[in-house]
Structure 1
Amino acid sequence: MRLKATLWGAAAALALVPAAAMAERERGSSGHLNIIYWQAVSTMNPFLSGGTKEMNASSIVLEPLARFDAAGELVAWLAEEIPTLDNGGVSEDLKTITWRLKEGLLWSDGTPVTAADVVFTHEYCTHPEGGCSYRDRFAGIESVVAEDDHTVVITFEDATPNPYIPFVGAGSPIIQQAQFQNCLGARAPECTDANFAPVGTGPYVVTDFRPNDVIQFEANPNYRVPTQPYFATITWAGGGDATGAARAVFQTGEMDYAWNLQLAPEVIEQMQSGGQGELLVDFGPLMERIELNFTDVSADLPDDERGTRMHPHPILTDIRVREALSRAIDRELLTEIGYGPTGRATCNFIVAPPAMASPNNDNCLVQDMDRANELLDEAGWERGPDGIRTRDGMRLELLFNTSTNAVRQDFQALIQQWWREIGVDTRLRNIDAGVFFGSDPSSPDTYVKFWADVQMYASLFEGTDPTPHLEQRRCGREPRPETQWPGQNINRYCNPEYDALWAELNREPDPERRQELVIALNDMFVQDFAHLPLVARGRVSAKSTDLGGVVMNVWDSEHWNQAEWYRITE
């Protein structure tokens, strides 16, 4: 089955527009834009979520010093230029990087953007009592100093060959000190007004935010490009399901853009026949996986001890069990039924860029029930009369959570069947995506809190350097109650050897050696069966045929160039 896919480069998109039309386009001239995210947005502060939906929505309000374009190349955003060794912005010892802000930058409230805001953002996200989801972006920093109103100097603890992580990409934007200065540490989640309607530098401002429902935006009157953005207002709808979102673009025309169309290939093919929309597909670091919890989440434990390293998981800390679960999965079949040509079965944690995808783990692509059973036998799990294994009076039973989605429920059902064949009893649970990927610290159902034994979802990283993504699995990066649960080490993995190897990667300047270290870290993680990779997924979204300027970007926010979107008219 062949899916029609459209991926426009920026130059190609602009080339389709007559020069006269470009000259006439002005701020707000394209009217209203309708966007649908069937996983509703829970906060406009990406530092308190870590979810892609929150990062994407906030990216049209909050901006970084630099970001990645559709080719994965760094481009200056709030900064005048990208600092390099050649232009003197990066020191010879690779320990400092100096950024200079563009002149005349204003926050949406009309006040000037200064280097003090950049310094404050670092303080906000690294506060010892806080739970910044993207704290990994600031790993290894010794200091962030404002030399003057427009100049910021970042000093690293060691030589840092890739200094383009802090304040780069949609996951590391600048926030306004004046708005967030009383929201440090444990108080961060309490600042509802700031978290729901941040003052930003982006092309749009929030006029109404309803958590897990709908967001209303209007053009930022102080945006630095006088003629942009081209849409005056945006409605960002949330909720429903991927099928309804696709139908709203492809068939009914109610929506102009739909994100993350996680649908079976035959469903997408049928939807496209409506003729009102175009499919956008590109492959990057997005990967569907099963996370295995290394901590005990028994309801018998106090809430402030569940899912913490105080109590190791009674089953999954045994690598033989983890490997058996992996061997029982048919990844090729999952990919075929769930994604077709928009997915590729994988055994790796890092699936892109291609040069950094390890060639050493492909043995997981072949389902091996015999080996899975042997491993459980070796681990002392014996089959009972009902076929389910037990050991020392404990049943081999797992709670398997994921978000509510037709493809994921199909995956759950197949994996449950395969695991039962090797003697594992699996209870399935699906949770509304807005809740599962939400940021409510009081909810027991978020993927970050992970009060289940295993869970399935997908994630990615920005840019072409996976260093910060690999850093997320270091000891101490796990979500925990004392920081109100934000954190990226979702499965609470901790391996000092992994941490030491990551530290070497973080200071290694040689590109070839860095590539070797990335592959070594990937191999250590997946060969420890710390989680179970399933499918390298393409980003799949849809736009209406009369929506121009959209450039799919797998290395940053899909809305990275939101200011340039416009309505195509005759």
Structure 2
Amino acid sequence: MIKRSVLYAGTMAAAVLAGSAAHAERGSDGELKILFWQAVSTLNPYLSGGTKEEYSSSMIIEPLARYNEKGELVPTLVTEIPTLENGGVAKDLLSMTWKLKTDVKWSDGTPFTADDVVFTWKYCTAPDGGCAQRAQYEGVKNVEAIDPHTVKITFTEPKPYPYSAFIGAQSPVIQKKQFENCVGPAAPGCTSANFGPIGTGPFVVKDFKANDVITYVANPNYRDPAKPAFATVTLKGGGDAASAARAVLETGEFDYAWNMQVEPEVLATMVAAGKGKLVTAFGTNVERIVLNWYNPDPALGDKRSTKEAGPHPALSDPAVRRALSLAIDRDIIDEAGYGEAGKPTCNIVPAPEAFNSTKNDSWCLKQDIEGANKLLDEAGWVKGADGIRAKNGVKLSFLYQTSTNSVRQAVQELVKDMWSQIGVGAELRNISASVFFGGDPASPDTFQKFYADVEMYTNNFSGTDPEKYLAEWMCNNVPAPANGWQGQNIPRYCNPKFDELLAVLSKTAEPAKREEISKQLNDMLTEEGAHIPLIHRGNVSSHSLTLEGVKINGWDSELWNIADWSRKK
């Protein structure tokens, strides 16, 4: 167990007390207890693509702007959102200018300036830095400080939709002074900074035990002297989704629990206890099965699941990828594991509605065992005595991994049975969520390293425009040893035509054309089998009936407005 304690000098402790005395509302509601059954591994979202890291760190470090519960872009550390109308976005679309608020301080009392914003860009784009959020800075040519409170971003080419860098929980600003010696290959080794970032948000880290528990205290230098209402926050990690739900809905031991991936009928029984409520928001979450386009054979050693390993011996066949999707009954999976909190989908970009494609629904949404078998027959995959198909000595038998969760294990069993009907075998494996989503480059069990044939998880994107999300499937975002396994192109999909079309999207201003191109990119990923989308998931969390101010958000961190949470009096 790794433990980090953030020790406060007497001046900071005095500041906390002074702030509490001068502004009675700050800290007046005592302790807030949050439960993440997927434990947090780091508080630096640039070193992890996991939602749990993005949410837990969003209480500390903030972006220039974020999305509210309606999907609207709102200022956080700036005075306004730059637009063509207010002159913040240049007429040639080659640059944008942000005006920083002048009253923002870091939690250590030093001024928040444009230099910190410039540094954050350099940090994430540094060679060999392994930045998990590099796609957020795609197309950024330069970031410069015009003055201490003005930042200019210049793009490599006209950027009709410029809202990506420094926006949302995936792209916060980090302090230059704290991280300036943590750039490039040095980034993962900066444990003190990664476990206790200095921030501008409502809370400060007091104590961090990786994969276990985090203790926060109210930031004495937070820009609103009356907030946050809670003096401390305890964020506990571990367990499972069902026990997390029970701790809020039945026992009342915790105030808030994230990600209630629990069978609908089980949740209904818990809610009946009368201690808490469920809150749901449909954003862009999609539960998907990802197919490994590289060979993950353990005999390949360090080369496994890398370009050097070569194509996957079976999943490189388009017929196999299509057959695996055809064999799945998404309606059964939805009914068994999600109920009203899920919708069958064939898209990796299911929302907003204007971006939701229907092109693949005709072949993908309904199970077609006969069609899947025919595809494999025609492709020369022949069933053996054991019922498993093979071709040229390669068997259609896959290691299928996911995180430990009762719903996911139930889905694994359902999919295994469905695939058996087309002559495909599956060895099921589940890994602790804190490890699977942890992003530790030394671990063989992370979803980024992908030492399996297929794996299943949920991912999403912040905001309402999918350009930066779709950029994750570019060839240069494949996880590899050179980038610390932090690339977000998990299937190792690489199609130059996809990259070219994405470049067209980045230059397109007309909303209808952006929607059309985004759908085309989405359709390519599904048609070519980069993944098998299963369920468009609602964000389902639970909170105590004594908790006020919660606004469930499907477009950003669920904890985006935690400064406004309070206890009912």
Length-normalised TM-score, structure 1: 0.95
Q: Secondary structure at the match of 1:43?
A: coil
Q: Secondary structure at the match of 2:288?
A: strand
Matching residue of 2:560: 560
Shift of residue 79 of structure 1?
0.7
> Are 2:397 and 1:390 aligned?
no
Letter in 2 for 1:493: Y
Matching residue of 1:237: 236
Distance, in Å, in 2 between the alignment partners of 1:309 and 1:40 is 33
Matching residue of 2:114: 115
Matching residue of 1:272: 271
Letter in 2 for 1:491: P
Letter in 2 for 1:159: P
Are the structure 2 counterparts of residues 309 and 303 from structure 1 closer, same or farther at C-alpha, using a change threshold of 3 Å?
Answer: closer
The 8 Å contact of residues 305 and 449 in structure 2, kept in 1 or not, is answered as no
Query: Which runs of structure 1 show a deviation greater than 6 angstroms over 4 or more consecutive aligned residues?
Result: none
The 8 Å contact of residues 245 and 258 in structure 1, kept in 2 or not, is answered as yes
Distance, in Å, in 2 between the alignment partners of 1:306 and 1:459 is 20
Matching residue of 1:401: 401
Matching residue of 1:254: 253
Distance, in Å, in 2 between the alignment partners of 1:195 and 1:215 is 13
Q: Secondary structure at the match of 1:321?
A: helix
> What residue ranges of structure 2 are gaps of 5+ in the alignment?
1-22
Q: Secondary structure at the match of 1:470?
A: helix
The 8 Å contact of residues 546 and 567 in structure 2, kept in 1 or not, is answered as yes
Q: Secondary structure at the match of 1:300?
A: helix
Matching residue of 1:19: none
What do residues 182-239 of structure 1 show as CA deviations (whole Å, max 9, x unaligned)?
1111110000000000000000000111111000000000000001000000000000
Letter in 1 for 2:500: A
Distance, in Å, in 2 between the alignment partners of 1:131 and 1:393 is 37
Matching residue of 1:9: none
The 8 Å contact of residues 125 and 134 in structure 1, kept in 2 or not, is answered as yes
Matching residue of 2:415: 415
The 8 Å contact of residues 350 and 466 in structure 1, kept in 2 or not, is answered as yes
Q: Secondary structure at the match of 2:477?
A: coil
Distance, in Å, in 2 between the alignment partners of 1:549 and 1:124 is 34
Q: Secondary structure at the match of 2:299?
A: coil
Q: Secondary structure at the match of 1:34?
A: strand
- Equivalences for residues 89-104 of structure 1 within 5 A: 89-104=88-103
Shift of residue 308 of structure 1?
3.1
Equivalent residue pairs, number: 547
The 8 Å contact of residues 328 and 368 in structure 1, kept in 2 or not, is answered as yes
Matching residue of 1:7: none
Matching residue of 2:439: 439
- Equivalences for residues 326-337 of structure 1 within 5 A: 326-337=325-336
Range with greater deviation from structure 2 (166-175 or 309-318): 309-318
The 8 Å contact of residues 299 and 306 in structure 1, kept in 2 or not, is answered as no
Shift of residue 305 of structure 1?
4.7
Shift of residue 306 of structure 1?
3.6
What do residues 479-505 of structure 1 show as CA deviations (whole Å, max 9, x unaligned)?
100121111101110011111111000
What do residues 307-341 of structure 1 show as CA deviations (whole Å, max 9, x unaligned)?
33541111101110000000000001100111011
The 8 Å contact of residues 286 and 535 in structure 2, kept in 1 or not, is answered as yes
Matching residue of 1:228: 227
Distance, in Å, in 1 between the alignment partners of 2:296 and 2:187 is 26
> Are 2:74 and 1:61 aligned?
no
Matching residue of 2:82: 83
Aligned-residue Cα RMSD (Å) equals 1.1
Shift of residue 104 of structure 1?
2.1
Q: Secondary structure at the match of 2:475?
A: coil
Letter in 1 for 2:396: L
- Percent same amino acid among aligned pairs? 55
Q: Secondary structure at the match of 1:333?
A: helix
Distance, in Å, in 1 between the alignment partners of 2:406 and 2:442 is 27
The 8 Å contact of residues 140 and 156 in structure 2, kept in 1 or not, is answered as yes
Matching residue of 2:185: 186
Matching residue of 1:177: 176
Matching residue of 1:31: 30
> What residue ranges of structure 1 are gaps of 5+ in the alignment?
1-23
Length-normalised TM-score, structure 2: 0.95
Matching residue of 1:529: 529
Distance, in Å, in 1 between the alignment partners of 2:83 and 2:392 is 60
Shift of residue 391 of structure 1?
1.2
Letter in 2 for 1:528: E
